[in-house]
Amino acid sequence: MKKELIFLGPPACGKGTQTTRLAKHFGLPHIDTGSLLRAEIANGTEKGKIAKSYIDKGNLVPVELVGSIIKDRLSRDDCKNGYILDGYPRSLEQAEMLININKEIDKDNDADFRAIYFDIDPDILISRIVNRRSCSNCGEIYNLKYKPPKVEGKCDICSSPLTQRKDDNEETAKARFETYYRETHPLFDYYNDKKVLKSIDASGSIDEVWERLLKAVED
């Protein structure tokens, strides 16, 4: 059965690491709106130019812009068995839009749709954000404190240089938290009311969280 999985949780709760692994596990595409938007910026597109001003301030990019990127991406062939959606939806408006997008793409859609909430103490997350680095080539995520690369500044997997996201500084991170609790967290009740929400304890090691995540998506 087609699997449509979406993920909720504050910035740096570990969604990126876990959902990348989950996508490989199920052979489904990992679709991450933050990365799609950063690619638009890197390619200098019109969409990228608009998105940049919002991302730099820690605000949500306008709903129509992200919606059009997501619709294009979910229409691709590799999504016919489902998808792992990381970073979308991020507001009630986007959640309603996702329902419409899914119907437009596949009107008889009867996918197993689940929302997974990463439950974690937000106090530890700012430190995670400022210590986060990622590979400029393969996207592997590191943390200078908890998961440092073997060679400083280089990816363990492909040896490419590690970079820090421009919005991973303390000031923008604080704005991203405010945006999360104001715009995105209400989706917890939204999906809970629809009986499609599962909450997992997102504290502990990457492997511990992975075990909990697999259980939540498989049972």
How far, in Å, CA of 112 to CA of 105, rounded? 16
Q: Least distance to ligand AMP from the beta carbon of 66, Å?
A: 4
Instruction: Show Cβ contacts of residue 182 under 8 Å, excluding neighbours closer than 6 positions.
Output: none
Question: Pattern 164-193, binding to ligand AMP, x per CB under 6 A?
Answer: ---x--------x-----------------
Q: Which is nearer to ligand AMP, 7 or 210 (CB)?
A: 7
Q: Are 81 and 10 in contact (CB under 8 A)?
A: no
> Catalytic pick from 15, 38, 47, 128?
15
Residue 176 falls in the annotated catalytic set: yes
Residue nearest to ligand AMP (CB): 34
What residues numbered 30-49 form the site for ligand AMP, per CB under 6 A?
A: 33-34, 37
Closest residue by Cα to residue 167 from 38, 50, 77: 38
Residue 15 falls in the annotated catalytic set: yes
Question: Pattern 51-90, binding to ligand AMP, x per CB under 6 A?
Answer: ---xx--xxxx----x--------------------xx-x
> Catalytic pick from 21, 47, 73, 132?
132
Residue 194 falls in the annotated catalytic set: no
Buried b (16+ CB within 10 A) or exposed e, 176-189: bbebbeebbbebbe
Closest residue by Cα to residue 115 from 9, 35, 23, 43: 9
Q: At what angle do helices 63-74 and 33-42 cross, to 10 degrees?
A: 100
Q: Least distance to ligand AMP from the beta carbon of 90, Å?
A: 4
Beta bridge partner(s), residue 6: 85, 115
Q: Which is nearer to ligand AMP, 14 or 58 (CB)?
A: 58
Q: Which is nearer to ligand AMP, 57 or 198 (CB)?
A: 57
Are β-strands 3-8 and 112-119 bridged in parallel, bridged antiparallel, or unpaired? Answer: parallel
Residue 165 falls in the annotated catalytic set: yes
Q: Which is nearer to ligand AMP, 166 or 215 (CB)?
A: 166
Q: Are 111 and 2 in contact (CB under 8 A)?
A: yes
Binding residues for ligand AMP, rule: CB under 6 A, are 11, 33-34, 37, 54-55, 58-61, 66, 87-88, 90, 94, 167, 176
The residues annotated as belonging to the active site are 15, 90, 132, 165, 176
